[in-house]
Amino acid sequence: MLFSAWEEHLLTFARKPGQAIRIGDAIRITVKELRGRQVRIVVEAPLEIPVFREEIYEQIVAQNKQAAQMPTPELLKGLE
């Protein structure tokens, strides 16, 4: 799990549709609706704060790690 070090600092909230939580002054998360086993939420955040679904974020992290291990074009020039 990516955030295992944070587990002891997690908060759990019970919210009903239409209710929200705030993260600081800039982020608001609202429960939009419940559909069976799915919860639809709305995230309001400034554009400079990236917001991703967890599985997308994990892909980005993995791709960044992979890209960091690739040789840069500057290093390749010395091999020509």
DSSP state of 16: -
Taking 70 as the pLDDT cut, the residues of the chain under it are: 1-8, 72-80
pLDDT of residue 29: 97
Residue 78: the pLDDT is 60
Give pTM, 2 decimals. 0.68
The pLDDT of residue 44 is: 97
Return the pLDDT at 7: 62
**What amino acid is encoded at 22 in this protein?**
R
pLDDT for 50: 95
* Amino acid 1: pLDDT: 45
For the residues of 22-78, what is the DSSP string, one character each?
EETTTEEEEEEEEETTEEEEEEE--TTS----HHHHHHHHHHHHHHHTSPPHHHHHT
